[in-house]
Structure 1
Amino acid sequence: MQNDFVYPKGKLFVPTAPGTVEPIKRLLEKARAKNVLVIYTQDTHYLDDPEFKIWGEHAVVGTWGHQIIDELKPQIPKEIIVQKTRYDGFFGTPLDNILRSRGVERVY
């Protein structure tokens, strides 16, 4: 989850997002305890992104809003961040290859 979506001062605040942070944090802690592969997808945009015509400017590389929230920070290098420029985390990203190379057959 990224600052622009979770916090009221974010560029594309989702009012229900703050309520999901703690449940996700608990799930993340359980996954880490069992050494489950954790992969983040990070909405990523540049200033000339045509998507801004629909949603407005948000998640711009190098901004506070683009960053993953502190409560759910990835443990790098153990956990992976896949930057995505579209709704689909697989489109135009290495996500499929990352999963296949690790023998992952199911995504939850």
Structure 2
Amino acid sequence: MSNRVLPVQALVVVDVQADAVGGDRAVPEAARLLDRTTDLIARARRGGAFVVHVQNDGQPGAGDEPGTPGWELHHAVEASPTEVVIRKTRDDGFHGTPLEGLLTGSGVRALAICGVMSEMCVQATARTALALGYRVVMPHDSHATHDIPAAPGISDRIPAAAVSRVAEWALGSELEVVPHAADVAFAALPARAR
């Protein structure tokens, strides 16, 4: 039995930048995450879907400060009218960016979201997409975060995998969580949008 869901017309890749997926500050299992995001991007391109790379502009001194090596996107961006980079300064990929206009203008009504950090930028972007009426699919193996450190008197360390699962759960029943990137199917954008 397949877990495949109805196709989506867009893939939003959130903050898959060098600082988050490489070196000593990389999320746990970064190689697995990159394998899944690489697969999603390749299949979205082949399927004629819209691909949006969201790139965070961190504060001065942060690992993702603009212009620093950590700020660079991990995945190469294809020069195409159906593949773009959106820069942001807040967790939410829609806040202060042209993301909604680009998706709507391209005829997108359903999208998949992947990337980092699960409980921050991925969740904030997914929450707004749901509030705007998009159908949102999140492959469980295609977003990641760090452990939450222990807080004396509050909690023990919370493993990254648990944090990612809670981030999905907190988005409610409208979010379509699928186990694997391979469960996501892509559809071409309407002809007028290409």
**Counterpart-to-counterpart distance in 1, 2:20 and 2:67:** 16
- SS of structure 1 residue aligned to 2:111: coil
1:1-108 pair list within 5 angstroms: 1-9=16-24, 12-47=25-60, 57-69=62-74, 72-78=75-81, 79-108=83-112
Q: Which runs of 4+ in 1 moved over 3 A?
A: none
- SS of structure 1 residue aligned to 2:23: coil
CA apart distance, 1:46: 4.2
- Segments of structure 2 that go 5 or more residues without pairing to the other structure are 1-15, 113-194
Instruction: Tell me the number of residue pairs that the alignment of Structure 1 and Structure 2 aligns.
Output: 96
Flag the structure with higher strand content: 2
Larger Rg: 2
CA apart distance, 1:6: 0.5
Q: 1:107 to 1:45 in 2, by over 3 A?
A: same
The alignment's TM-score, normalised by the length of structure 2, stands at 0.46
**Percent identical:** 30
Q: Cα RMSD over matched residues?
A: 1.6
